[in-house]
A and B are shown apart, each in its own frame.
Chain A
Amino acid sequence: MPLTIADLEAGVLDLLEESRTAPKFWTTYETRTAIVEAMNEATLITGEPEVRSNQPFTITANTTFQNMPDGAIALVRVEGPNNVPLFKTSVLALDRSFPGWQNTTDTAPGFWFPYGLTKWGVYPQATADVNCVLTYIAFPVTTARPYTGGEAVPFQVEYEEGLREYAQHTCRFKEAGLDFQQSFPAYRKFLSSMQELTRFAIRKGALRFTLDAGTMAKITDVKGVS
């Protein structure tokens, strides 16, 4: 049975030394929002979850640019008629390879290209609507706030501990001072887990995370302040 946010929340409350049923200092809004934030950060670092949509997407005829489907951050694969994949390209590559490409039409596109995170394009334009299957990196959670706790956690089990550590670290932010500073190892543990899990993110190009991206901010020892 897949995990839910409520399942992770129980572990987060334990790490915060809060009652699982009647927390006092943190609300369920805070803990669940922190868990979703952890999942969002995990998605951006590792490129998971990757979802092959079970709903066909219709490429609009005579149109180059298409809107991203709801809940998709970035496309990774487009399959046209008979599930034949379209080649991934870019606007720059099309300009260099096929001058005037925007005016070309055919029964079905042979190429697709990303256009930021909200649109994508096809070449050539299709002369009639074409159904395709999209595979994309998905939003971990698509429901609006406040979260109910019933939302599924769309990650493999190896993510769980990192997500709990991130969430407890985020929740402790409002404690400030030493109480917050002492949660820094939890955030490091999350980053370290995600770094390891990016090694599983094959065929996503240069999506690799390194802790060299930044060093932890220097924290003044509160006790040392006179």
Chain B
Amino acid sequence: MSLIANDLLTEISLALIDDFVYTTASAPIGTGVQTVTPLSMTGIYIGALLIVGAGTTREIVTVTAVTATTFTATFVNTHPLGELIQAATFAAGLPDYQLFTQAEMLSYMAVIQNDFLVKTRPVYVVGSASIQTSKTVYDYPSDAIRIERIDIAGTKLRNVSTPSLDWANLSWQQSAAAQPDSWYTDKTGAKKYAVTPSPNVGYTATLMYSQSGPDTIALTDTLLVPDPMAHYIKYGMMAVIFGKDGEQRDVDRAQYCGYRYDLGVKIVQVFMEGVVAAEIASETREMLA
């Protein structure tokens, strides 16, 4: 069972000694704009995102109005009496000045997860790309950290560089069009790759690449990082949270969390090298014959 973003945010709430929402609906909830009476209004405020329900009817709703005992939101699904309502909402500081917002926490999570994925690269994708006639430069897949290998119909393309192409043939860019046999990433622009020779017809290429996470994360999104590594994301987030300027600033705990995050990165790197040992491509460029 994969952790969701709200699970990590709940842990952080507890570390901040901040209330979070974990209650149930005292009556069935219909669709559309509904006023709900939960058993507890702790942590619920206008603008808060709440997770209502579980399974296929689970949804995230935004609170648009509150009273002492009710909140109003727009629902897509119906929910029965006793339906679970939960979320880490970071209400501390309200109504004067909220110390942290859900959007802020989720942005930290996205950034830290991607930093972790860049450093450890535990997830790889097998994707495809349409290689078009006479087109040599292509964009990386939007979720790619680094392309490791490209092949066309099972024939691996050599990973080269423009200097090695220059050494082999100064006029390589004027070579007759043919099925590409090499690819390179230098001097192509940010997050682009190129194939050579220029394709004579269209091909479908298979790309093997390390995967990055999304730029935005929702409360119910699962992390790309496997669950046993998710606590390192938490520590990375808390290094930022306790290090930022504000009432909750705690330099000592920020430093500790930074240490735990860095150690976690090293532990996972050793794990990947020692247990997984999944060499996909050589770290050095392949020389042309």
Evaluate contact between A114 and B276: CB separation under 8 angstroms: yes
Which of these binds chain A: B30-38, B194-202, B279-287? B279-287
Residue interface bits B1-31, CB-to-A below 8 A is 1, else 0: 1010001001100111100000000000000
| Residue in B10, B253, B266 with the greatest tally of chain A CB atoms within 10 Å | B253
Which of these binds chain A: B45-53, B117-125, B163-171, B176-184? B117-125
Tally of A-B Cβ pairs under 8 angstroms: 147
Interface check B251, CB cutoff 8 A:
yes
A174 to B11 CA separation, bound complex (whole angstroms): 10
Interface check A115, CB cutoff 8 A:
yes
CB-based nearest B residue for A39: B228
Which of these binds chain A: B98-106, B146-154, B213-221? B146-154
Interface check B95, CB cutoff 8 A:
no
Q: Which of B113-172 contact A (CB under 8 A)?
A: 121-124, 126, 148-149, 151, 153-156
Q: Which of B229-258 contact A (CB under 8 A)?
A: 229-231, 250-253, 255-256, 258
Q: Is the interface of A mostly helix, strand, loop or mixed?
A: mixed
Evaluate contact between B259 and A90: CB separation under 8 angstroms: no
Interface check B112, CB cutoff 8 A:
no
For A102, the chain B residues whose CB sits under 8 A away are: 151, 154, 206
Evaluate contact between B258 and A116: CB separation under 8 angstroms: no
For A218, the chain B residues whose CB sits under 8 A away are: 255
Interface check A22, CB cutoff 8 A:
no
Which of these binds chain A: B63-71, B72-80, B267-275? B267-275
A27 to B100 CA separation, bound complex (whole angstroms): 23
What's the nearest-Cβ distance from chain A to residue B144, in Å?
13
Evaluate contact between B11 and A33: CB separation under 8 angstroms: yes
Interface check A82, CB cutoff 8 A:
no
Given A118-B124, A173-B15, A214-B262, are A113 and B268 neighbors across the interface (CB < 8 Å)?
no
A100 to B282 CA separation, bound complex (whole angstroms): 17
Evaluate contact between B276 and A117: CB separation under 8 angstroms: yes
Evaluate contact between A206 and B274: CB separation under 8 angstroms: yes
Evaluate contact between B1 and A74: CB separation under 8 angstroms: no
Evaluate contact between B208 and A91: CB separation under 8 angstroms: yes
Given A44-B229, A76-B275, A219-B256, are A103 and B153 neighbors across the interface (CB < 8 Å)?
yes
For A29, the chain B residues whose CB sits under 8 A away are: 10, 14
Interface check A1, CB cutoff 8 A:
no
Interface check A134, CB cutoff 8 A:
no
A27 to B11 CA separation, bound complex (whole angstroms): 11
Contacting residue for B226 out of A73, A113, A217, A220, CB 8 A: A73
26 A-B pairs (CB sep. < 8 Å)? A29-B10, A40-B228, A40-B231, A44-B228, A73-B228, A74-B275, A91-B148, A92-B281, A92-B282, A102-B151, A103-B153, A114-B277, A114-B278, A115-B124, A115-B126, A116-B210, A118-B123, A139-B227, A140-B228, A145-B7, A176-B252, A206-B270, A207-B271, A214-B259, A214-B266, A218-B255
Known interface pairs A217-B252, A219-B252; 6 further A-B residue pairs with C-beta atoms within 8 A, sorted by A's residue number: A115-B126, A118-B122, A176-B252, A205-B275, A213-B270, A219-B255
Give me the interface of A with B, judged by CB distance under 8 Å. 27, 29-30, 33, 37, 40-41, 43-45, 47, 65, 73-74, 76, 88, 90-93, 95, 99-103, 113-119, 137, 139-140, 142-145, 173-174, 176-177, 180-181, 204-209, 213-214, 216-220, 222
Minimum-distance CB pairs A-B, first 5:
A207-B274, A116-B124, A102-B154, A206-B274, A40-B228
